[in-house]
Each structure stands twice: as C-alpha cells, then as structure tokens.
Amino acid sequence: MAVVILSVLYVYTLYNIPILAVGIRHLRWSGKKGKKAASLSRERLPTVSIVVPVRDEERVVGRLLKALLSLDYPPEKREIVIVEDGSMDKTAEICRKYAGQCPDQIKLIHQSTSNGKPSALNYALKHLAGEIVAVFDADSVPEPDVLMRAAEYFEDGSIAAVQGRTCSINADENMLTKFVSYEEAVRYETYLRGKDVLELFVPITGSCYFIRRSVLEEVGGWGDEFLSEDTELSAKLVERRYVVKYVPEVVSWQENPASLGQLFSQRTRWFRGCMEVGLKYGRLVRKLDRWSIDAEVTLAGPYMLALCFMGYLAALNSVLVPIQLDPLFTMMTQAMSLLSIISLGIIGIALVYATKPRKIGNLLWLPFIYAYWSLQTFLASYALIQMIFKRPRKWMKTTKTGVATNHARQGS
C-alpha cells in the first residue's frame, strides 16, 4: 500500500512541475513587457452585472461599494447587484445607504434566509441584466480597470469566462497572512499562469471572475449543494468545453485569514468542496483529452495532500517503531524526497518573481512555507474524514475585519 501511495504522489508531482516551470518562464517574460492600457472602444463594451453576496460584512461592505462605484467603466453599461443574505449587523443599513445615493447604479435585493454563497448567487441570477456577470466577495477591493481589462477578452467568442488575480490586502498583518499571500501569489502567477499558457484547465477561484450570463444560465448557475461553488462551476464549464482564461492584469485585493481558526474553517470547507466535486465529476476522465484529464488531476489536489499527511504519519511510525524497509520502498522514498526538494526550489523561484518588488530574500521564507504546506496536508485529511463519516455540510463564512496593510486604497 505504501508503494502505491508513493507512486501516486510521484506521478502527481511530476505532472505539476512542468506547469509551474512554464508559469515561471512566462512570468519572467511578461515582466519585461509594459502593462498595456485597455483599448476597447466605449461602443463595443459589453454590459456587466457585478454581483456581490454579503452577510454580516459591516466592516468591509462600504469599502467594497466605494471601489465598485469608482470603476473605470461607463455607468450606463454596468449594474451593481448586492445580495443581502440575512445579515444580523449593520450590513443591510450600509447597503441601503449606498443604494439610496446611487439608485441608478446599485440594485439591492434581499434573501431573508441564508443558505450560503451559492444560494445567494443563484438568487441574484434571475435579477441580472448584463451580458457579462462579474463576481466579487464582500472584502474585495478591485482595481479601477478590472472591468475594462476583462471586457477585452470577451471580444473572443470562444472565451466563456475570465479569472482575474486576487492579491492580499492584509499580507503584512501577521506571519500567517504573509504565508497565505505567498501561497496565493505562487498559485495565481505560476500555477494558473502555467495552465493558461499550456491551454489546460483554468479553475474559477470564487472572486474576481467574469462569465457570460448566457453560459451561466445554460449550465444552471451555481451548485447549491456544494461547499466550493466556484470549483463545481469550473467542472461544468470544462465538461461542456468552455474556455476559462486567466488574466493577471485583472486585479482585485482581498483579505486573507488572519488566525489559525479562520484558516482552519476556510480551508476545510474549500478542501471538502473540491473533493466532493472531484467525485461527482469523475466522469471527466472518460473524455481522453488534456482539458478533462488536467481537470481531474487538479480536483485530486486535496486528496494528494491527504496522502502526503498519511506519508508523514508513516514516517513518524517508522522512527518510533524501527522496521526493515523494502528496498523498492526505500528507493521510491528517496526519489520522492528529491522531487519535493525540486518542487520547493521551483516554488522559491516563483516567490522571487511572483511578488512585487521582486526580492531574492523571499527564498528565506521557504522553510516556513514548507511547514505551512504541511499544515495544509492535515486540513485536507480532516476534510476527507468529514466526507468519509458524512458529516453535515455547513457553509462557514470567513470573518472579515477590514484590515488593509498592502494597498493604497485602504479607506472605507
């Protein structure tokens, strides 16, 4: 069994290393080019419905609405649809204030019973008028040009959705937020970039994404029963051969978990949601093409983390209870260790290029990031245990505090 587990991890790691390497190469190349200004004429801009589900977000919703109202996009071609999802604080009051001040731009709808983000998004879908649907979270602070830059890509009729880049607005709050910000920088700027360059499966990540309303309606909106509605939507898109484009120039800022409790809750929900989507859409492997295969490999990520945690436990057991190891197992363990070192080296290079300003000193974070990654293996294992024992699914929102340490537009 141990040999089988190592073989699976070996193949999974070998598969992903080239994706990261391609992402880094493209990141280096793109960094030498200047950022082009959005050039689509006003007449050709599509209408956009910006959807934001909010519940108990009084600390951040005002900041969000100010940012949305400041977007560089013709007001007559956009609408801001806020789904107030049964808040118990002053969120509804703040939203009513902004809607009253800008009734021609903000549409406020209420859902008295909260059933999580997917339910709120589906409730909003029947109220939308735009050709393109843009989704942001309550703690988002999008750059002024996000709509203009995303709109350009929808000139290509083959593109169904665009995923932008989210950056940490509170990276310097504490060491944990710094770890998470580095993790996300590598994920977006190397992993998703590499997938996009190689024309593989680009998943939607829950915020700062844009999708044609016609496509969204065709696939039936978001899956209410899933804890990761973005992952399930991604699976439905790839199953129907719709293209999702990763566009790093489309940038929005948002909060990272600032405590271990918040991280535990958020990642457990993410991992379980992804695992359940992976099981439901296992049929994708029947279509032997690079999109479907890559989608299944991506959805298997949390399972691979759980297998890594099992490997840690096995290694600890071998130290406490010395046994005679099989030569094949020993050789595979050494090979896996080598691959882990290579992967860590690639991540280190990615940290240098994916963060701004670029710093060689970011390599010093690698030991801590490895420890943080080890924590992820435990959280994925916990999510798997919840699945196995069929624990009730419960949508747990991540508490937002409004702390902003890494972006100029910090006022609310």
The answer for residues whose C-beta is within 8 angstroms of residue 338's C-beta and 6 or more apart is none
> How do residues 282-318 score in pLDDT, each as one tens digit?
998 888 888 899 999 999 999 999 988 887 776 676 6
Q: Of 186 and 246, which is predicted with more confidence?
A: 246
How many of the other CB atoms lie within 10 Å of CB of 58? 19
The number of helix segments (H) and strand segments (E) in the chain equals 14, 8
Give yes or no for a contact between 347 and 367, defined as CB atoms under 8 angstroms apart: no
SS3 track for 60-105: CHHHHHHHHHCCCCCHHHEEEEEEECCCCCCHHHHHHHHHHHCCCC
The predicted model scores a pTM of: 0.90
- 324's tokens: 């005679």
Bridge partner residues of 161 (DSSP): 211, 244
Neighbours of 337 (CB within 10 A): 10
Q: For the sheet containing 78-84, what is the strand order?
A: 106-110, 78-84, 48-54, 132-135, 209-212, 159-168, 243-254, 141-142
d(CA 391, CA 395): 12
In angstroms, rounded to a whole number, what is the distance separating the alpha carbons of residues 125 and 216?
Answer: 9
CA atoms within a 13 Å half-sphere pointing along the CA-CB vector of 2: 17
% of the chain residues with pLDDT over 90: 63
Q: What is the mean pLDDT of residues 54-68?
A: 95
Sign of CA dihedral 315, 320, 321, 323: positive
pLDDT tens digits, one per residue of 353-406: 777 767 777 777 788 888 888 899 999 999 999 999 989 887 777 888 899 998
Domain, as residue range, for 291: 1-36+156-412
Q: Is 351 within the bounds of a domain? A: yes
Residue 164 lies in a domain: yes
Q: How far apart are CA 64 and CA 232, in angstroms?
A: 26
pLDDT for position 348:
83
Task: Give residue 410's pLDDT.
Answer: 41
Checking phi first, is residue 190 left (phi over 0); if not, alpha (psi -120 to 50) or beta?
alpha
Confirm if 83 and 53 have CB atoms less than 8 A apart: yes
- The residues, ordered by sequence, that sit 6+ positions from 17 with a Cβ below 8 Å of its Cβ are 339, 342, 343, 346
- Give the separation between CA 356 and CA 378, rounded to whole angstroms: 30
**Residue 105: which of 41, 43, 49, 46 has the closest Cα?**
49
CA angle 320, 321, 325 (to 5 degrees): 120
Residue 302 in 3-state DSSP? helix
Asked, for residue 41, whether it belongs to a domain, the answer is: no
What residue has token string 């801001």? Answer: 80
Placement of tokens 């000193």 in the chain: 361
Question: 330 pLDDT band (50/70/90 cuts)?
Answer: low
Residue 345 covered by a domain: yes
**Residue 76 maps to a domain:** no
CB 84 within 8 A of CB 54: yes
Q: Does residue 78 belong to any structural domain of this protein?
A: no
pLDDT value of position 37: 64
Q: Is residue 18 part of a domain?
A: yes
Domain count across the chain: 1
Model confidence at 11, pLDDT cuts 50, 70, 90, reads confident
Per-residue pLDDT reduced to its tens digit, 184-228: 988 999 999 999 999 999 999 999 999 999 999 999 999 988 899
Q: Is residue 217 part of a domain?
A: yes
Mean per-residue pLDDT, 225-239: 94
